[in-house]
Amino acid sequence: MRKKIYLAFLLYFTAFSTNSSVYLKGTRVIFPAERKEAVIQLVNSSDNTSLVQSWIDEGNIDSTPETTQAPFIVTPPVVKIKPRGGAQLRIQQLANQLPTDRESIFYLNVLDIAPKPDNLKTENILQLALRTRIKLFYRPQNINKTSQNAAEHIKITKVGEVLTIHNPTANFFTLSALYNRLDKNNALSKTIMLPPFSQQTVENKSHVVFDDEILVEYINDEGQFINQVKKIK
């Protein structure tokens, strides 16, 4: 009997739950050091008002607006977005001592709390809070201005049955996939984010040899997937 009552209770709350429907127009933020602020657009695609809280963290997924140490502020930190409406978030940098010879990475958090719909009389509503988290790249002056510039310098070398992807640039490089150009059905790697001046090894699953062509699929500043061909060195 208790199990039946408990199940009915869960179904009751689930039936009247509300969903979060705010999304960002963009999958990443590029913040050039010489700019005072960056702007990103929020869109509420639902028929309900949403309350949104935003902040930037330094890489700690458990960070909150109160605990973050990131040298950025988001305004407004809390905003109510009307049904089918939108809002702008302005990201401003604070005084900082971030590296000037390479990019730094942070994360923009957008917490969307869907309020109780006005047309539901019952008070037994399960409100959901969904968090979206996207990358923010802080880009100092005097380094590659775009991800495309950085992609041209990426190299792939082979030692035995191991491939090494080299990123000799000052930019973060997000590799979404790596393929043997003659075998696009089997990816050599999944998504990899290479920090500046770093390298990453992957298994040579396709047994490529020197001078074979590798198809590098990477994500550019606009969040698009771009293909570029590299030769194994």
pLDDT (tens digit per residue) in 63-92: 999 999 999 999 999 999 999 999 999 999
Model pLDDT, residue 165: 97
* Judgement on whether residues 203 and 92 belong to the same structural domain of the protein: no
Do 200 and 178 fall into the same domain?
yes
The reply to whether 5 falls in a domain is no
For residue 59, give the CATH number of its domain: 2.60.40.10
| Residue 212 belongs to a domain | yes
**127, 59: one domain:** yes
Do 164 and 134 lie in a common domain? no
32/112 same-domain check: yes
Are 134 and 39 part of one and the same domain? Answer: yes
Q: Cβ contacts of residue 88 below 8 Å, gap of 6+?
A: 39, 40, 41, 42
Q: Encode pLDDT of 190-232 as tens digits.
A: 899 999 999 999 998 888 888 889 999 999 999 999 999 999 9
Same domain, yes or no: 157 and 225 = yes
> Average pLDDT for residues 13-19, to the nearest whole number?
40
pLDDT (tens digit per residue) in 136-189: 999 999 887 877 788 999 999 999 999 999 999 999 999 999 988 877 777 888
Lowest mean pLDDT among 50-59, 72-81, 112-121, 123-132: 112-121
Same domain, 54 and 74: yes
In-domain check, residue 10: no
Handedness of CA 189, 133, 41, 28 (dihedral sign): negative
Query: With 80 as the cut, is the pLDDT of residue 117 above it?
Result: no
Mark whether 94 and 169 lie in a shared domain: no
Residue 169 counted as domain residue? yes
Higher pLDDT, 232 or 127: 232
User: How high is the pLDDT of residue 188?
Assistant: 86
Residue 16 binned pLDDT confidence (cut-offs 50, 70, 90): very low
194 in the same domain as 119: no
Number of residues written out for the chain = 233
Beta strand 173-180 pairing with 104-113: unpaired
Per-residue model confidence (pLDDT) at position 11: 33
Listed residues 79, 113, 139: the one ending a domain: 139
**Nearest-CA neighbor of 147 among 88, 203, 223, 55?**
223
DSSP, collapsed to helix, strand or coil, labels residue 148 as helix
Average pLDDT of the segment spanning 91-119? 89
Residue 176 tokens read as 């979404």
Please check whether residues 203 and 132 belong to one and the same domain.
Answer: no
How far out from the chain centre does Cα 187 lie?
22
Same domain, 134 and 154: no
- pLDDT reported for residue 180: 87
Q: Which of 87, 115, 139 is the last residue of a domain?
A: 139
Which of the listed residues 139, 170, 188 is the one where a domain comes to its end? 139
What was the pLDDT predicted at 145?
A: 81
Give the range of the structural domain holding residue 128, as residue numbers without chain letter. Answer: 20-139
Residue 7 is predicted with a pLDDT of 37
